[in-house]
Amino acid sequence: MVKRLRWFGLVLAISGTGVWADYSDHPELKLSELTSQLEAFGYTESELVELFRAAEKKQSIIDAISRPAEKVLAWHEYQNIFLTERRIKEGLEFMRAHQETLARAERELGVPAEVMAAIIGVETYYGRIAGSYRVIDALSTLAFDYPKRSKFFRKQLVEYLQLAKEQKINPLEPKGSYAGAMGFGQFMPSSYRAYAIDFDGDDFVDIWNNEADAIGSVGHYLKRHGWKAGQPITLPLKTEQFLAPEWLTDDLKLSYTIAELPAEAAALLSPSLPSDSLIEPIEMETEVGPQQWLVFNNFYAITRYNHSRMYAMAVTELSEALAAGLREQ
């Protein structure tokens, strides 16, 4: 648990048998540049040196980010991770426990309660599994020892250290994913600072321990990334309705308007959708063969959370299962 406490310097108690990488001497640290970026937030060069002496390189982080599930699994394998009876059951329990907060978030932000719950369910099993790596280790490892994306993770490291000062937390304490994502909704530091919100009125934004803030922050993130209230996410197609291969791309962006679709595909859509609405046909492999969907703007909004069609489809299908479960109660 992340404690709200004032941080007057780093007092470290390092124990155990782990090997600590001394990032204070790492050639990619660029200490003077980092200090100039952080001194306005109250960091001194000596504090940063002590901080990076305590940061540990984790080869397991590099291994994990080099083979994300979205890149190595087929859709039906990925689907089987997230569409389980247990995840649906616990999701319904989460929704019952936070019914009022979810309802208010849906009213104020326009995102369905089951979608916000599904994202938290996919990300952290409703807060139960929020990551076991120290955020400082994850971000330091990827900023300094993962050249492929070092620029991105160096920015996240700076954002994280700024966030630590803003939240008055010891930056050595919080834990998260192997990529440095944090809290119920697994926000990266820049997303935490830009999109996380205080949703319970206590004047403090806490997505680590406060379910209300976590729910509101997920909804706020989707709203800010273009979620349109009342519009669909996907429409599955029957085999006889499949579009020809030339309509299919690997691009996450929506390529067509409804008016540009073949007439037989456009006829499947609600007439209330404007003809200039953006849409994309996609295809993924199920256990029984290929399946196609038409996906809409709200599907694209979910891919802004995680740049993966499989992720967005898992969130969509889990949200549908949660909505169905609520109707049955």
- In the set 123, 159, 211, 280, the catalytic residue is 123
Please check whether residue 105 is in contact with residue 309, taking contact to mean a CB–CB distance below 8 angstroms: no
Closest CA to 131 of 75, 76, 213, 187: 187
Based on the residue annotation, tell me whether 77 is a catalytic residue of this protein.
no
Please check whether residue 262 is in contact with residue 248, taking contact to mean a CB–CB distance below 8 angstroms: no
327 exposed, middle or buried (CB, 10 Å; 0-12, 13-18, 19+)? exposed
Residue 293's DSSP bridge partners are 236, 282
Structure tokens at 148: 């492929």
At 39 the three-state DSSP class reads: helix
Q: H or E element: which one contains 72?
A: helix 69-72
Q: For residue 58, what are the contacts with CB-CB under 8 A and spacing of at least 6? A: 133, 137, 138, 141, 178
Give phi and psi for 235, each to the nearest 5. -140, 110
292 exposed, middle or buried (CB, 10 Å; 0-12, 13-18, 19+)? buried
At 182 the three-state DSSP class reads: strand
Please check whether residue 281 is in contact with residue 247, taking contact to mean a CB–CB distance below 8 angstroms: yes
Q: For residue 57, what are the contacts with CB-CB under 8 A and spacing of at least 6? A: 21, 23, 137, 140, 141, 144, 145
Structure tokens at 184: 């119920």
Give phi and psi for 22, each to the nearest 5. -90, 90
Longest dimension (CA), the chain: 67
Residues noted as catalytic: 123
